[in-house]
Chain A
Amino acid sequence: MNCDDLAKALSEETPLPLEAQEHVKSCKRCQELVKALNLPVAVESLPPVTLQQIAEGIATNLRPVSPVAPAGYFFAAFSGVFVSIVAFFVYRMGALAIAVMTPLETVAILTALAVSTGLLAYSLVHQMIPGSHYRISPRLLPVGIAVSLTIMIAVLFQFQHEQNFWGHAWPCIRAGIPIGVLAAVPFWLILRRGAILFPAMTGATTGLLAGLVGTSVLEIHCPNVDAWHILVSHLGVAMLCALAGLIVGLAVEIKGYAVNSLNSNHKGHLA
């Protein structure tokens, strides 16, 4: 047991093992650390009048509310919206890519899109409710999904050198982005049922999910299987939507705290 192991042991919830306790006895540095962590914290009492004012301020406005629906309900709503929009546009535009891709490519890319959608919906369901339990960091998830899909496309499809790259890419981008924007509307309506604490993070996640609707439609519809084309004009739709979601979220965050600044200037409304 050394000092580093002790710091690790301190960050666990289990009682300090005997070895660690022995180490604390023999190591002056660690003794200091343990003592410092047990230094007293200011016990600042709140005047009962203040507490009463806050409580009364809340009580005057009190109306019964129904708790939000279970997580499964929202997960089903996100997934349902995703599948419905993809199905509608594929029905309208046709599934031309399925005939061109190999069975392996088809299964792999659709599975990857389905898994990504599930993970993003799962993350959003938890971001709607403060204090939710996360198994995957919601900050890292959109980045992880974008990187994973990029690698997957690069591995699955061949890189070719098209003559008129942007001529082929532009129609796909132009078709995919409106689908993403359209999907973002019902996603936002679902999100409104909860409380979004970090709009930038939630905006990026929602944007990516909405963008993946467009990507999925293009992936099923567009018969161009060049890896560059798929990366830029199919996955690019999802990336652009994620970026737009991030920007909108940041704007909401800045606007939100500006509004709160105004509220705090008119403090006393609780009292």
Chain B
Amino acid sequence: MSHQGVTPRVAAANDPQMQCSAQDNVVPRQSFADLDRWMERYQQADPDAPAALVGALSPALLRFFRSQVASREQADDLLQETWLRIHRVRHTYRPGEPVLPWIYAIARRVRVDGYRRTRRITLHEIAMELLPERPAPVRDRNLGPAFDTLVAALPQAQREVVTMLKVGGLTLEEVARATSSTVGAVKQKAHRAYERLRDLLQSGEGAKGAAQ
């Protein structure tokens, strides 16, 4: 599969300041080289395969979860849960197919379950709250940097697409596969997300987030 960078990077190439930041943004595709071969070895129970896959994919998965959920703890939990599920359904990977969409599709499902679980717990906690006082808001030490804050203003579906494209470095085709959707639908979501981000930046909400 050819390397297809995230489009803004092309524009950024003309601007040295933007170019510098863009290079740090996306997980480099080179780190995913040979994933398909490792997946095949994983299916054949090669004992080296789990370490290779976990080492190569976990940082990208953690970034994906980190941009979707608030706390680092939750993201770590989701990462562990994702590897459990990957292990359980490893037979569903077909050799020769792209690995990243397969992994992200599972991660996405884990994130949905995690969101429901958190919501249920939160609701339960509010119902059981004895004291009406709320704890003083504490700034999370692990608060993500500006990009995360900026995309946090987007609706879930758009945030997911932008995160996969921008943070995961997936292509449109791969995002479509990971989200059980079509390339056209992904393009549309990305387009709407960019328009919304531009509006947010203009209204100042996003700029505030970006300045943090």
Contacts and interface: CB of A to CB of B under 8 A. Distances in A.
Interface string A2-31: 011001111111111000110011000110
Given A36-B150, A46-B58, A133 B63 contact: no
A81 to B, nearest CB: 21
A13 B77 contact: no
Contact of A20 (B4, B11, B91, B173): B11
Interface of B: 4, 6-12, 14-15, 18, 21-22, 24-25, 42-45, 47, 50-51, 53-55, 58-59, 62-63, 66-67, 72, 76-77, 79-81, 83-84, 87-95, 97-98, 100-106, 108-109, 113, 116-117, 120, 142, 144-148, 150, 166-167, 171-173, 176-178, 180-182, 185, 187-188, 190-191, 194-195, 197-198, 201-202, 206-207, 210
Interface of A: 3-4, 7-16, 20-21, 24-25, 29-30, 32-46, 50-52, 54-59, 61-68, 70, 127-139, 194-195, 197-198, 201, 256-257, 260-261, 263-264, 267, 270
Contacts of B42: 62
Contacts of A8: 191
Contacts of B62: 44, 46
Nearest to A9: B7
Given A35-B15, A41-B67, A137-B181, 18 more contacts: A9-B7, A10-B194, A11-B188, A13-B172, A16-B10, A38-B8, A39-B21, A41-B24, A41-B25, A42-B63, A46-B58, A55-B51, A127-B180, A128-B92, A135-B182, A195-B106, A256-B113, A260-B113
15 contacts: A10-B7, A10-B190, A24-B11, A34-B12, A34-B18, A36-B146, A41-B144, A42-B145, A44-B142, A52-B51, A55-B53, A63-B45, A67-B93, A131-B101, A198-B109
A134 B4 contact: no
A208 B144 CA distance: 44
A213 to B, nearest CB: 25
Given A11-B187, A197-B105, A197-B109, A51 B94 contact: no
Contacts of A37: 6, 8, 166, 194, 197
